[in-house]
């Protein structure tokens, strides 16, 4: 193959419309039929899309192995040899094509089950071929099923052959003579038509220089047609950085422009509500983490710009009090606050907890949920409008349009991942100046994930538990030890404690697990007979009111055991409960196990979490269970979860395109992500409007991508 960038004098490139925007059918060798397939199969509409279809591997024609070297450890191999046999065997569904390739060390069998006619037509006995594929053994003989095969052309003497790219393809494309290597011909053609300037730089010169990143056009060329592995690695490194960097610029742009340009209520003073509570009603000393986060919130809310802060704190880290103090700050400045919870149970719990704390402070606190009676509801709505109610706690009911405030200044959203973005946005509209938003979540998210999925929010972490907490002891027990586990619960109950027994019910509609739960309930009852013991049960099929009553009895200590599905997962606080038994623990994900475990260890007593499984547990599940037994640290668990499952699956993160990188991975490229974040922040702090000369390439690029991504903040 010739040089990859070819100087052309065909046309003067239009300054505004890049050649990369050309529809794919205009590429030589494509045409309408193939274009249609490329669009349908690989989402390739333009030259640019093809440019961004990266090869999944390269063939190094200089690296040819000997057939005799194939052993059971060999995965992929490339060999050359003479085809000395080619015949079809069997018929009907058992029909296959067998070939034999010989080099000077041995014989390799080649097998095709599909496309037999076509293969038979395109290769012939007697020729020398270059063959690549995944090796296996059949009857103790090495073989490759569906190998890549082509006539062997010796490498150039100077060794300066390109590594030949192989692209992801599909069955339909292969049938149209566009297999992984044939697509390479199109990419090659594309590069023949491009000039370096067509792949314009988008990372500022000084950053390129600082980290010795290769130039953008150079990186694209080498990602497709590298001469050496090293060149390829450098190219990919740069392109990954670019991907992360552009994403970070976009996210931080939203964040920093909000700091600069949004309007927000000004909480300028700390007054008597805050101070009075802090000095006379706060039942404990704040942890350093709580103090730090409060300070961050104070700074955010004093500036006259809208706060949009995500507060992450492990279960039990004490987020509620931080929310309360922020609400008092709002009150000191003449603003109302609302606290939204995902369920009625949680809203009630917050209401009761806050009522106790606020006794004697002069703050008027109310609760509004779906079950608030009409008369009280009218009262509350009036109170919010005339500002006699300072704080309102509630559920989704707060979002309804009839709920209007005189002067809403702060919205706290607890356990955010149960609220949709649209629902939150509805709340923002309840004030002339958008209220400050504090989103709290107890689902720890690894830092890299948070930076990517929530990079447009400000972000606080409470990584410290209040003092005096006794770490929860977690153990793994087998089904066969169930009796002992029940004995243990009996002992704890005898000491005055309560216990949870949780059953998996992934889908509330799943009949099987529902029956499991019922069976489990009967079994628990037989271990803990009435009237000596009383048991609460809660599950998703139950009417809401019954759920509430059963939950309530457990909260009040009227029942000893709570048998439940994961509906109790989030936020419920029963400090007297000291045992958490999780049935079929192998069926739960890490973060869910951690959330469930967080229901105990909330009081002064030593608490236990028992993970019950059958005897056959998969390797993955074993790993999850051993992580749970080894640590109580939610952030460590979240890191592991991310490693085990990948970013797409992590609960509590946005289902957003922000995580869909082509090359980079937030699991494997952590350092590069940190670097990208650092550079993006520095750049924007210096040049938030992206107008400095050195940043113009970036600005141009962002503009050219407008509409493609839905990001439109840059003008």
Interface residues with ligand ADP (CB under 6 A) are 284-287, 290, 313, 315-321, 442, 466, 573, 602
Given the complex with ligand ADP, which of 321 and 625 has the nearer CB atom? 321
Given the complex with ligand ADP, which of 318 and 455 has the nearer CB atom? 318
User: If residue 308 lies in a helix (H) or strand (E), which one and from where to where?
Assistant: strand 308-313
Binding at 315: pick from ligand ADP, Mg ion, none (beta carbon under 5-8 Å per type): ligand ADP
Beta carbon of residue 178, minimum distance to Mg ion (angstroms, whole number): 54
Paired tokens of 223: 């990602």
Residue with tokens 């007054």: 271
Going by DSSP bridges, is the β-strand pair 498-502/561-564 parallel, antiparallel, or unpaired? Answer: parallel
Distances (CA, A) of 75 to 7, 107, 137: 41, 17, 11
Binding at 286: pick from ligand ADP, Mg ion, none (beta carbon under 5-8 Å per type): ligand ADP
Tell me, what DSSP letter sits at residue 65?
A: B
Distance in angstroms (rounded) separating the CA atoms of residues 164 and 145: 21
Given the complex with Mg ion, which of 346 and 403 has the nearer CB atom? 346
Beta carbon of residue 350, minimum distance to Mg ion (angstroms, whole number): 8
Given the complex with ligand ADP, which of 285 and 509 has the nearer CB atom? 285
Beta carbon of residue 349, minimum distance to ligand ADP (angstroms, whole number): 9
Of residues 449, 440, 326, the one with CA closest to residue 390: 326
Q: In a 10 Å sphere around its CB, with 0-12 CB exposed, 13-18 middle and 19+ buried, how is residue 693 labelled?
A: exposed
Given the complex with ligand ADP, which of 352 and 688 has the nearer CB atom? 352
Contact 368, 394 (CB under 8 A): yes
Tell me, what DSSP letter sits at residue 541?
A: T
> Residue with CB nearest Mg ion?
571
Paired tokens of 470: 């006794």
User: If residue 242 lies in a helix (H) or strand (E), which one and from where to where?
Assistant: helix 229-261
Beta carbon of residue 322, minimum distance to Mg ion (angstroms, whole number): 10
Given the complex with ligand ADP, which of 537 and 574 has the nearer CB atom? 574
Binding at 199: pick from ligand ADP, Mg ion, none (beta carbon under 5-8 Å per type): none
**Residues 547 to 586: which contact Mg ion by CB under 5 A?**
571
Sheet holding 535-538, edge to edge: 473-478, 608-613, 577-582, 498-502, 561-564, 535-538
Per-residue string for binding with Mg ion, 375-414, x by CB under 5 A? Answer: ----------------------------------------
Sign of the CA dihedral 414, 420, 421, 425? negative
Contact 682, 670 (CB under 8 A): no
Binding at 567: pick from ligand ADP, Mg ion, none (beta carbon under 5-8 Å per type): none
Half-sphere CA count of 249, side-chain side, radius 13 A: 25
Beta carbon of residue 610, minimum distance to Mg ion (angstroms, whole number): 24
> Residue with CB nearest ligand ADP?
318
Q: Which residues contact 318 (CB under 8 A, 6 or more apart)?
A: 286, 287, 290, 462, 465, 466
Mapped onto helix, strand or coil, the DSSP state of residue 515 is: helix
Beta carbon of residue 321, minimum distance to ligand ADP (angstroms, whole number): 5
Binding at 187: pick from ligand ADP, Mg ion, none (beta carbon under 5-8 Å per type): none
Given the complex with Mg ion, which of 37 and 289 has the nearer CB atom? 289
Beta carbon of residue 391, minimum distance to ligand ADP (angstroms, whole number): 16
Beta carbon of residue 445, minimum distance to Mg ion (angstroms, whole number): 16
Given the complex with Mg ion, which of 442 and 524 has the nearer CB atom? 442
Paired tokens of 76: 């992929």
Beta carbon of residue 348, minimum distance to ligand ADP (angstroms, whole number): 14
Given the complex with Mg ion, which of 55 and 598 has the nearer CB atom? 598
Q: By the criterion CB under 5 A, which residues form the site for Mg ion? A: 571
């Amino acid at each position: 193959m010739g040089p990859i960038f070819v100087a052309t004098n065909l046309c003067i490139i239009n300054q505004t419309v890049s050649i990369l925007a050309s529809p794919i059918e205009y590429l030589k060798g494509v045409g309408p039929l193939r274009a249609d397939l490329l669009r349908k199969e690989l989402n390739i509409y333009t030259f640019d899309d093809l440019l961004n279809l990266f090869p999944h591997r390269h063939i190094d024609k200089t690296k040819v192995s000997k057939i005799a070297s194939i052993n059971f450890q060999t995965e992929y191999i490339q060999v050359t040899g003479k085809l000395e046999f080619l015949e079809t065997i069997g018929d009907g569904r058992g029909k296959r094509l067998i070939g034999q390739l010989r080099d000077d060390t041995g014989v390799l069998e080649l097998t095709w089950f599909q496309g037999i006619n076509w293969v038979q037509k395109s290769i012939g006995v007697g020729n020398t071929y270059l063959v690549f594929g995944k090796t296996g053994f059949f009857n103790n003989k090495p073989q490759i099923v569906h190998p890549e095969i082509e006539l062997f052309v010796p490498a150039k003497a100077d060794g300066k052959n390109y590594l030949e790219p192989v692209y992801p393809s599909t069955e339909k494309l292969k049938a149209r003579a566009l297999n992984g290597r044939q697509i390479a011909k199109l990419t090659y053609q594309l590069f023949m038509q491009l000039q370096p300037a067509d792949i314009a730089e988008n990372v500022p010169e000084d950053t390129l220089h600082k980290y010795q990143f290769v130039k953008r056009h150079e990186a694209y060329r080498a990602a497709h047609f590298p001469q050496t592995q090293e060149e390829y690695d450098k190219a990919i490194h740069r392109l990954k950085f670019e991907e992360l960097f552009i994403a970070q610029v976009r996210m931080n742009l939203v964040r920093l422009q909000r700091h600069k340009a949004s309007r927000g209520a000004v909480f300028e003073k700390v007054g008597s509500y805050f101070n009075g509570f802090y000095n006379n009603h706060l039942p404990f000393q704040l942890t350093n983490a709580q103090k730090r986060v409060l300070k961050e919130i104070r700074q955010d809310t004093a500036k006259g710009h809208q706060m949009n802060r995500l507060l992450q704190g492990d279960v039990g880290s004490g987020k509620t009090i931080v929310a309360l103090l922020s609400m008092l700050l709002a009150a000191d400045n003449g603003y109302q606050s609302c606290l939204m919870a995902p369920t009625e149970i949680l809203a009630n719990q917050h209401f009761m907890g806050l009522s106790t704390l606020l006794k004697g402070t002069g703050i008027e606190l109310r609760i509004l949920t779906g079950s608030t009676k009409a008369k009280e509801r009218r009262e509350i709505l009036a109170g919010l409008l005339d500002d006699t109610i300072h704080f309102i706690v509630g559920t989704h009911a707060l979002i309804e349009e009839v709920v209007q405030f005189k002067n809403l200044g702060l919205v706290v959203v607890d356990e955010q991942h149960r609220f949709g973005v649209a629902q939150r946005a509805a709340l923002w509209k309840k004030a002339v100046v958008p209220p400050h938003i504090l989103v709290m979540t107890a689902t720890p998210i690894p830092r890299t994930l948070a930076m990517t999925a929530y990079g447009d929010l400000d972000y606080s972490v409470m990584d410290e538990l209040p003092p005096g907490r006794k770490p929860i002891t977690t153990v793994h027990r087998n089904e066969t030890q169930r009796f002992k586990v029940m004995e243990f619960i009996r002992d704890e109950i005898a000491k005055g404690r309560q216990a949870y027994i949780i059953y998996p019910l992934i889908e509330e509609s799943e009949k099987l697990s529902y029956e499991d739960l019922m069976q489990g309930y009967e079994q628990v009852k037989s271990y803990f007979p009435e009237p000596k013991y009383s048991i609460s049960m809660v599950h998703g099929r139950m009417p809401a009111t019954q759920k509430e009553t059963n939950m309530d009895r457990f909260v009040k200590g009227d029942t000893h055991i709570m048998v439940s599905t994961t509906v109790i997962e989030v936020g419920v606080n029963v400090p007297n409960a000291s045992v958490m038994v999780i049935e079929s623990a192998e069926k739960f994900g890490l973060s869910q196990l951690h959330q469930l475990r967080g229901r105990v260890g909330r009081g002064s007593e030593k608490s236990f979490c028992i993970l019950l499984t059958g005897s056959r547990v998969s390797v993955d599940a074993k790993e999850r269970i051993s992580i749970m037994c080894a640590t109580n640290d939610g952030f460590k668990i979240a890191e592991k979860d991310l490693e085990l499952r990948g970013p797409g699956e992590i609960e509590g993160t946005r289902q957003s395109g922000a995580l869909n990188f082509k090359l980079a991975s937030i699991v494997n490229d952590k350092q590069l992500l940190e670097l990208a974040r650092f550079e993006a922040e520095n750049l924007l702090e210096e040049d938030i409007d992206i107008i400095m000369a050195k940043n113009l390439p970036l600005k141009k690029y962002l503009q050219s991508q407008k509409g493609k991504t839905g990001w439109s903040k840059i003008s």
